[in-house]
Structure 1
């Protein structure tokens, strides 16, 4: 392994965001090491190290000589556990900057996976390792998967009051690399897409791009989560940095 503090370790480096971030780091002349669940050969100057963050085994070796960690890995559950394992190892290894990608609304929307994101944020902030956290809106890819799945139903359900401000993963990648190459900045302004949409608007845009029609049916999200979404707690309407690429631009690229 490369033993220089110029090395940047990326968790989730093969995912939607990580696969965009890694080439940008290489273009910036940085040595990059990627954590992966499965071993892979070095390619395009990028090292791949097999580590399961939920187990934490192998982190000590993976962090040898690393100055900056980009924690981009995430899932439906266990983010808090994985992050605590990473934080402990990063502190022991003398990491100088830990950069984390979180989600807008992690501190406001009462859902279990968002609570784990918030717990991960806290673990990083309390770690003693200099840190930067960026909360981003829902990626276009995730939005597309959602509306594509719902469009397979005979009737498209539209939760009343649910609004999204989807952001392009390329815009997020550029921002997270900028933050990683800079100094620790704590919690930075959120990053959201350039437009706010009701779910019905997103659905109609997708269906039009696919040349399909579906009747819609209003539904209500129950409980505290429903109230939070109707209140726009998943949005940052003031003070956010804004990405460039719109949902419409993305649909043209992906759907045609």
Structure 2
């Protein structure tokens, strides 16, 4: 037994291991408490929307608020489905899903080429993608709308999907992740006689799964909530997406907040489902990118 430990025992002080365990326990309690507070803070808006969907109009706007619906009603859902909600939901699913698949495919191809192929102008092209990430969508909206109008693509599905396929952030993410793939794997596949297409589809693409999971979530949620672009590009009620259709339920003089909360709750379900579906790949993509990027 060392002299310091003996001195601590004689003085009635705990050993360094015991003190360290106590400090670690206190720190863990404080960190868990802060995490619980943060979780409640971020979950509360979703809870308020869910409970508001079952409140009457007079209760939904009452002050002080009713934290839990004492007299729940399904009238809000009934009023919501008097509108073409299923058509709006179909439009949102179609646009978001097709855009997610297209962005993941194009970004993985472009990111792989920029990371693993050597050709003149590679750094310049990648720099242009990085610079494009700094441009807000509103800056290019007017020339984009003019171009789509010339093509006759306004108020069409391809007019809503195609402009978002070349997402600069998607290319950037896939390029950074593709750099972590060992070049020896590619060289071995070439020695075995693999073509570029077969090597990418059977070897490279499975290795990119974590990054693709993260990109799929970002793309789907971004497309689902892309209210501004969809507002500009759509003209008819039948082409509206779910967030856009729910926004039209707001009246000029009065607004039924219970119906709007029911619509908001319905619109949030697909995003939660997509996140839970790709959660494992999303976590791997973020953590691996942070360590190796």
Asked if these proteins are the same fold (TM beyond 0.5), I'd say no
What range is the shorter-chain TM-score in?
Answer: under 0.3
Hey, which of these two has a bigger chunk of helix by percent?
2
Q: Which has the higher contact order (CA 8 A, sep 6+)?
A: 2
Q: Decide which structure has the larger Cα Rg and report it.
A: 2
Q: TM-score, normalised by structure 2?
A: 0.20
Q: TM-score, normalised by structure 1?
A: 0.22
